[in-house]
Amino acid sequence: MVWLLGLSILEAQSTGVDVVKSVLPAVASKYSGALDSVDLNEAGDLGAADYRIWSVIDSEWVIADVYDFETDSIAPPY
The dihedral sign for the CA sequence 46, 16, 3, 30: positive
Residues 77, 56 share a domain: yes
**In terms of residue numbers, what domain contains 68?**
48-78
Contact 46, 39 (CB under 8 A): yes
Inside any domain, residue 16: yes
Q: What stretches in the chain show pLDDT beneath 70?
A: 1, 33-37
DSSP 38: -
pTM: 0.54
Inside any domain, residue 42: no
Inside any domain, residue 68: yes
DSSP 4: H
Helix/strand/coil for 65: strand
The total of structural domains in the chain comes to 2
pLDDT in tens, 24-41: 988 988 877 665 667 788
